[in-house]
């Protein structure tokens, strides 16, 4: 059997190694358009910033090393220009010599990946405007910085690569501005959770120009002007387009393969395309979202590697199935860690799924052990079945552990209340006897069983201030004096029983504290006295972070620039 693989990064390289382990006699050839194979896309920003100082560390394998171990021919700087399914050949161009030739195959695997989205705008292609996708892109940006010593940069786009690049360029001493049309960074997160990412970016000197439409780029005054719709242009020494990626599927389209979202390649759960003996994997393919079952494009390394293995199994005669992509992801944002899995609240509502949520702010480990830090967790579940749908966590140490537990729980089809039953490892430096994941389950169970009624950030503005309800803040007087929601009166939780005469009977009571714990206790005290109570989800810390971010984003939308409060 002869297998030709188009693309030698995550999916293609994984498939080649798996095929060899399954079939020692197979002839395997990889054609890779760039000069590198099996390179670490996710590490590229860290090489630019100097965290990774050896460029060799960016490539997990070399053609020579791959051949020595797996006897796979890897031909870099070779572009497959056409597929001839009827003849079972591909046309290949050697990009160094210009030579063109045909290569036959018994099985063909497409792993072309995705390319940076390049909008059809004036100025795209200017020398000072870069994209970051390949090792060559990385070297170009690094060389430009070393040669020209730019002091400022504008990043168009605030996804994973944009955030990682912003951090690394900021650490090089550059003034960094992120501009984009959406009013939040990181679309997999809900706006309330993205607020904490925004805050960390601002604290580290990154300027956010959110809610602006880029209309073009112009070289000016030795730098680059980014033209904005209805606003003065932004100026910097260089720019980077980081507005996302598009499936690189012209080859598949020309060959007559069935296509899906944004021209992605349609595959079944065996990673088979619409044409016989042709498989496809990675960022170029349309998949099913594991939670919703809907069609999706999810450009992440983990799914690409799994798909490569599954395709290899099947083209070697096996019967492996891809169950779908869940979108589990994590990113470092300066000192902060932000992670997500499953779907967020906004996606659930767009899909017509009736959802509920809990927001909590647990410590990453036992409170009495030194060095504990608060994390913010938002857990989404179906209101009717209580199935766990998604989670987002922003914090410091321990975020990665909790998001992986929650990702596993989603994959296993657990309900949100089953989180309370998970037997998770505990020692004071690492966790608490009731882990944050358990706490999410406890809180959700209270909500589902009616022990707790919640109100949320989006409900606060509509609360009546006419005396028909009681608005109660049960933090200490010192906490209250440092900031509170207008209209909320202060009775500390430990004084509540003695001051019940200050809480008018017969009126609903809306209770808030710093994190949601004391307000829950207060709500139970009041419920025991016959009051109808609502507990604020996430606490004042959460409310203050979200509302301050909204204020800054709206101010930036109006005046053209997000002023860093620092």
Please identify every residue annotated as catalytic.
42
Instruction: Sort strands 107-110 and 2-6 into parallel, antiparallel or unpaired.
Output: parallel
How far apart CA 429 and CA 18 sit, in angstroms, is 39
- What string of DSSP letters covers 51-87? SS--GGGGBS--HHHHHHHH--EEEETEEEEEEETTT
The structure tokens listed for 37 are 């194979």
Q: Distances from the Cα of 316 to the Cαs of 3, 190, 311, in angstroms? A: 10, 42, 9
Q: Which residues pair with 330 in a beta bridge?
A: 339
Contact 309, 320 (CB under 8 A): yes
How far apart CA 175 and CA 150 sit, in angstroms, is 9
Q: Show the CA angle centred on residue 24, arms to residues 20 and 30, nearest 5°.
A: 40
Q: Report H helices in 471-514.
A: 477-481
Q: Which residues pair with 245 in a beta bridge?
A: 116
Q: For residue 213, what are the contacts with CB-CB under 8 A and spacing of at least 6? A: 181, 228, 229, 230
How far apart CA 218 and CA 225 sit, in angstroms, is 5
The structure tokens listed for 5 are 């693989």
Q: For residue 311, what are the contacts with CB-CB under 8 A and spacing of at least 6? A: 11, 15, 109, 270, 271, 279, 280, 281
- E strand map for 242-335: 245-247, 265-266, 278-280, 285-288, 295-296, 329-333
The backbone torsions φ and ψ at residue 545, rounded to the nearest 5 degrees and listed phi first, read: -65, -45
| Packing angle of the helix pair 436-448, 399-411 (nearest 10 deg) | 50
Q: Distances from the Cα of 553 to the Cαs of 62, 147, 160, 359, 444, in angstroms? A: 45, 35, 20, 22, 31
* Helix H or strand E segment including 229: none
SS3 311: helix
How far apart CA 131 and CA 135 sit, in angstroms, is 11
Closest CA to 542 of 395, 432, 333: 395
How far apart CA 155 and CA 173 sit, in angstroms, is 15
Contact 443, 360 (CB under 8 A): yes
Tally of CB atoms within 10 A around 354: 10
- What string of DSSP letters covers 399-466? HHHHHHHHHHHHHTT-BGGGGGG------TTT--SS-HHHHHHHHHHHHHTTS--EE-HHHHTTS--S
């Amino acid at each position: 059997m002869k297998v030709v693989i188009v693309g030698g990064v995550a999916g293609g390289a994984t498939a080649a190694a798996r095929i060899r382990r399954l079939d020692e006699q197979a002839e395997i050839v990889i054609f890779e358009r760039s000069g590198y194979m099996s390179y670490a896309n996710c590490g590229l920003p860290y090489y630019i910033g100097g965290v990774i100082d050896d460029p060799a560390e960016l490539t997990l394998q070399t053609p020579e090393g791959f051949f020595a171990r797996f006897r796979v021919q890897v031909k870099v700087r070779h572009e497959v220009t056409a597929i001839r399914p009827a003849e079972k050949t591909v046309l290949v161009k050697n990009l160094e010599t210009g030579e063109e030739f045909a290569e036959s195959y018994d099985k063909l695997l497409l792993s072309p990946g995705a390319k940076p989205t390049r909008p059809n705008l004036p100025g795209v292609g200017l020398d000072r405007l870069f994209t970051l996708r390949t090792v060559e892109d990385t070297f170009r940006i690094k060389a430009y910085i070393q040669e020209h010593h730019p002091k400022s940069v504008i990043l168009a786009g605030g996804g994973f690569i944009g955030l990682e690049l912003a951090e690394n360029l900021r650490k090089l001493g550059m003034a960094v501005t992120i501009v984009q049309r959406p009013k939040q960074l990181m679309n997999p997160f809900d706006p309330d959770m993205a607020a904490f990412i925004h805050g960390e970016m601002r604290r580290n000197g990154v300027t956010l120009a959110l809610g602006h439409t880029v209309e073009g780029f112009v070289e000016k005054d030795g730098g680059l002007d980014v033209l904005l719709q209805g606003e003065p242009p932004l100026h910097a020494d260089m720019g980077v387009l980081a507005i996302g990626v598009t499936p690189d599927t012209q080859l598949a389209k020309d060959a007559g393969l069935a296509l899906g979202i944004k021209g992605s390649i349609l595959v079944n759960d065996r990673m088979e395309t619409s044409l016989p003996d042709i498989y496809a994997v990675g960022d170029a393919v349309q998949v099913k979202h594991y939670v919703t079952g809907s069609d999706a494009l999810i450009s992440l390394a983990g799914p690409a590697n799994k798909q490569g293995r599954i395709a290899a199994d099947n083209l070697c005669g096996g019967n492996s199935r891809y169950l779908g992509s869940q979108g589990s992801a994590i990113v470092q944002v300066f000192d902060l860690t932000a992670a997500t899995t499953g779907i967020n609240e906004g996606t659930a509502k767009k899909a017509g799924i009736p959802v509920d949520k809990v927001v909590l702010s647990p410590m990453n480990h036992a409170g009495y052990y030194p060095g504990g830090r608060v994390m913010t967790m938002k857990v989404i579940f179906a209101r009717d079945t209580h199935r766990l749908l998604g989670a987002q966590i922003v914090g410091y140490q321990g975020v990665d552990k909790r998001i992986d537990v929650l990702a596993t729980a989603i994959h296993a089809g657990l309900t949100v209340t089953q989180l309370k039953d998970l037997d998770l490892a505990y020692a004071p430096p690492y966790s608490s006897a009731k882990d944050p994941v358990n706490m999410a389950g406890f809180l959700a169970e209270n909500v589902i069983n009616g022990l707790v009624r919640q109100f949320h950030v989006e409900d606060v503005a509509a609360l009546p201030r006419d005396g028909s309800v009681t608005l109660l803040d049960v933090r200490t007087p010192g906490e209250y004096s440092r900031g509170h929601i207008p209209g909320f009166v202060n009775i500390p939780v430990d004084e509540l029983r003695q001051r019940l005469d200050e809480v008018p009977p017969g009126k609903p009571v809306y209770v808030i504290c710093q994190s949601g714990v004391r307000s829950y206790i207060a709500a139970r005290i009041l419920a025991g006295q016959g009051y109808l109570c609502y507990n604020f989800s996430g606490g004042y810390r959460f409310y203050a972070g979200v509302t301050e971010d909204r204020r800054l984003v709206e101010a930036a939308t109006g005046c053209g620039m997000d002023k860093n409060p620092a």
